[in-house]
């Protein structure tokens, strides 16, 4: 294998089915480079990609953060400094920071202030993520930086539009006046664009004409990233696994629930909110019968009737935390209990069960907030089956499911449904 091929091979993105920890990442993040002239819309395009990938861990790294701070001497003659030349950036620091993130570790990156042309405290802590977007005018210029990327994008916006936006932005946000902006543009920005930035366009895999106005290109990019991430692999392998649609609210709640610093009160509050969502989602998978009714205005509404042969079963004790949400959604629902003990030698042992006597004829919502190895779940499901419940009548509701647990349960009980709010335990 020649060295160029080897380099590319090492950079191949490899999806990791089993999650991973900070110190031992099992999959490399998907790294996207977004280049383009000043004010072409790079940051705006990145924000759009990030917001469409709201259910993924995505971080944005700006090349601007790696601008070298000006010395006092340089500051005296700032109008003679070329911020659009590759030497204006500390590319070594950028490369080492990207390498740290690539290996699944958090990194502190400088916080650059465009008004004073220096890095300021505090630095920004960037956490590892599944997708890392590196954005900046020259991110496609240096081959070492390019080689870290799995996807290279160039935002191609008309130069008059860019100049107009730059005047607007720099006067409002970066403390400049129109005269400064025009001088700098003519002296450095335009010539460096032609010498360094425009030639880097040939390295791009995707060119986005009109930047953020190009919704179609952004949708296609997001789809490609999702495909590469194999985001719903488990849902594809096991069609009976349903992960509720993630939103920033849901990720925010998971962040609070997982944070060691969260107070007990907040933990209970946010866990309850998540449980309620999972329960509501799970109820949507119950069978229903169609029904037409007449509304007060006399029109006919074609609706459905809830399934009545229903019960909950909680796996003691953690499953009991889901009972209130189930009771709040299903008036008067019967809830049975199963207690399983983990015995080192004998494995999972059934210690106690109290189930409705007619459970065999009911649809069962099995409650346990965490699906980890799947062994307790397998035992609980086996108890239900031994009572005559049909496998396809069981919906297993949980908040967090480890891929390992999903594999264990779904391979043994392929007709059962799992509804969860996240399938990841790290
Ligand atoms: N499609 C667009 N339509 C209107 N204004 C835009 C558009 N894209 C970006 N802008 C504005 O132009 C300025 C520069 O955009 P930005 O995304 O910061 O560009 P870059 O990161 O490439 O310098 C910002 O003020 C932004 O709000
Ligand atoms: N102190 C600085 C540093 C950089 N610039 C200009 O910023 C541009 C890059 O940022 P974009 O968001 O526009 O990509 C670049 O063209 C530099 O001229 C500056 O003016 N002052
Ligand atoms: Mg920008």
Residue 266: which pLDDT band, with cuts at 50, 70 and 90?
very high
Greater model confidence, 123 or 55: 123
| Closest listed ligand to the CA of 46 | 1
Distance CA 56, CA 67 (A): 29
Residues 219 and 261 in one domain: no
Residue of the CA atom closest to atom 5 of ligand 1: 165
Please say whether the beta carbons of 416 and 381 come within 8 A. Answer: yes
Q: Specify the pLDDT at position 3.
A: 41
* Domain stop point among 211, 230, 249: 230
pLDDT at 25 over 50: no
Residue 7: which pLDDT band, with cuts at 50, 70 and 90?
very low
> Which conformational region is residue 177 in: left (phi greater than 0), alpha (psi within -120 to 50 degrees), or beta?
beta
Q: Is 44 in the pocket of ligand 1 (CB under 6 A)?
A: yes
Q: Is 231 in the pocket of ligand 1 (CB under 6 A)?
A: no
Residues 23 and 106 in one domain: yes
Distance CA 243, CA 418 (A): 8
* Domain stop point among 198, 215, 230: 230
Q: Is 43 in the pocket of ligand 1 (CB under 6 A)?
A: yes
Residues 221 and 246 in one domain: no
Residue of the CA atom closest to atom 4 of ligand 2: 83
pLDDT at 16 over 90: no
Report the CATH number that the domain containing residue 28 is assigned in CATH: 3.40.50.300
Q: Is 213 in the pocket of ligand 1 (CB under 6 A)?
A: yes
Quick check: is 426 in a domain?
no
pLDDT at 24 over 50: no
Residues 195 and 337 in one domain: no
Tell me the helix, strand and coil percentages in the chain, rounded to 5: 45, 25, 30
Residues 377 and 279 in one domain: yes
| Closest listed ligand to the CA of 88 | 2
| Range 97-123 average pLDDT | 95
Residue 134 CB coordination number (10 Å): 25
Residues 242 and 220 in one domain: no
Residues 298 and 219 in one domain: no
Name the one residue in this structure whose structure tokens are 């969860």. 420
Residues by chain with Cβ below 5 Å of ion ligand 3: 43
Residues 215 and 270 in one domain: no
Please say whether the beta carbons of 350 and 378 come within 8 A. Answer: no
Give residue 155 CA to ligand 1 midpoint distance, Å: 11
Residue 108 CB coordination number (10 Å): 12
Which structure tokens are listed for 63? 């090349």
Residues 221 and 330 in one domain: no
| Range 27-48 average pLDDT | 93
Residues 352 and 267 in one domain: yes
| Range 336-355 average pLDDT | 90
Pick from 17-26, 320-329, 378-387: least confident: 17-26
Q: Specify the pLDDT at position 422.
A: 85
Which structure tokens are listed for 424? 């990841």
Quote the number of domains for the chain: 2
Q: Where are the alpha helices (DSSP H) in 238-355?
A: 248-258, 264-283, 323-329
pLDDT at 26 over 50: no
> What rounded mean pLDDT belongs to the chain?
89
Spatial CA neighbour of 376 closest among 396, 356, 393, 357: 396
Q: How many angstroms separate the Cα of 328 from the Cα of each of 18, 253, 277, 325, 365?
A: 35, 20, 12, 5, 14
Q: Which atom of ligand 1 lies closest to the CA of 211?
A: 1
| Range 410-416 average pLDDT | 92
* Domain stop point among 184, 208, 230: 230
Q: Is 133 in the pocket of ligand 1 (CB under 6 A)?
A: no
Residues 100 and 149 in one domain: yes
Residues 307 and 394 in one domain: yes
Q: Where are the alpha helices (DSSP H) in 123-247?
A: 143-146, 159-172, 178-184, 190-192, 198-200, 215-229, 233-237
The residue range of the domain holding 389 is 235-420
pLDDT at 372 over 80: yes
Q: What number of helices (H) and strands (E) belong to the chain?
A: 16, 17
């Amino acid at each position: 294998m020649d060295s160029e091929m080897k380099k590319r091979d090492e950079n191949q993105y490899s999806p990791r089915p089993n999650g991973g920890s900070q110190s031992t990442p099992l999959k490399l993040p998907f790294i996207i480079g977004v280049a383009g002239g000043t004010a072409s819309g790079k940051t705006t395009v990145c924000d759009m990609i990030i917001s469409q990938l709201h259910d993924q861990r995505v971080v944005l790294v700006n090349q601007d953060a790696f601008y070298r701070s000006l010395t006092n001497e340089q500051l005296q003659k700032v109008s003679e400094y070329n911020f659009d030349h590759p030497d204006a950036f500390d590319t070594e620091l950028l490369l080492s920071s990207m390498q740290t993130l690539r290996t699944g570790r958090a990194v502190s990156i400088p916080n650059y202030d465009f008004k004073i042309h220096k890095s300021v405290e505090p630095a920004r802590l960037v956490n590892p993520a599944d997708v890392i977007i590196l954005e900046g005018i020259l991110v496609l210029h240096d081959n070492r930086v390019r080689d870290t990327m799995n996807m290279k994008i160039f935002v191609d916006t008309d130069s008059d539009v860019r100049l107009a936006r730059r005047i607007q932005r720099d006067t409002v946000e970066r403390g400049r006046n129109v005269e400064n902006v025009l001088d700098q543009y003519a002296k450095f920005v335009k010539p460096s664009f032609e010498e360094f930035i425009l030639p880097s366009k040939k390295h791009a895999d995707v060119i986005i004409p009109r930047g953020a106005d190009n919704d179609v290109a952004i949708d296609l990019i997001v789809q490609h990233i999702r495909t590469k991430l194999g985001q719903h692999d488990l849902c594809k392998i096991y069609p009976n696994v349903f992960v509720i649609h993630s939103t920033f609210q849901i990720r925010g709640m998971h962040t609070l629930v997982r944070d060691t610093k969260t107070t007990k009160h907040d933990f209970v509050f946010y866990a309850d909110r998540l449980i309620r969502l999972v329960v509501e989602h799970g109820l949507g998978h119950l069978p229903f019968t169609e029904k037409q009714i007449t509304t007060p205005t006399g029109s006919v509404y074609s609706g459905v009737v809830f399934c009545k042969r229903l019960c909950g079963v909680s796996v003691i004790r953690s499953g009991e935390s889901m009972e209130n949400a189930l009771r709040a959604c299903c008036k008067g629902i019967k809830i049975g209990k199963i207690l399983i003990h983990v015995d080192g030698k004998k494995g999972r042992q059934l210690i106690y069960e109290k189930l409705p006597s007619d459970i065999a004829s009911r649809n069962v919502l099995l409650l346990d907030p965490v699906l980890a190895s799947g062994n307790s779940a397998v035992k609980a499901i086996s108890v239900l089956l031994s009572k005559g419940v049909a496998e396809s009548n069981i919906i297993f509701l949980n908040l967090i499911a480890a891929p390992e647990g999903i594999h264990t349960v779904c391979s043994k009980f392929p007709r059962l449904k799992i509804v969860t709010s996240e399938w990841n335990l790290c």
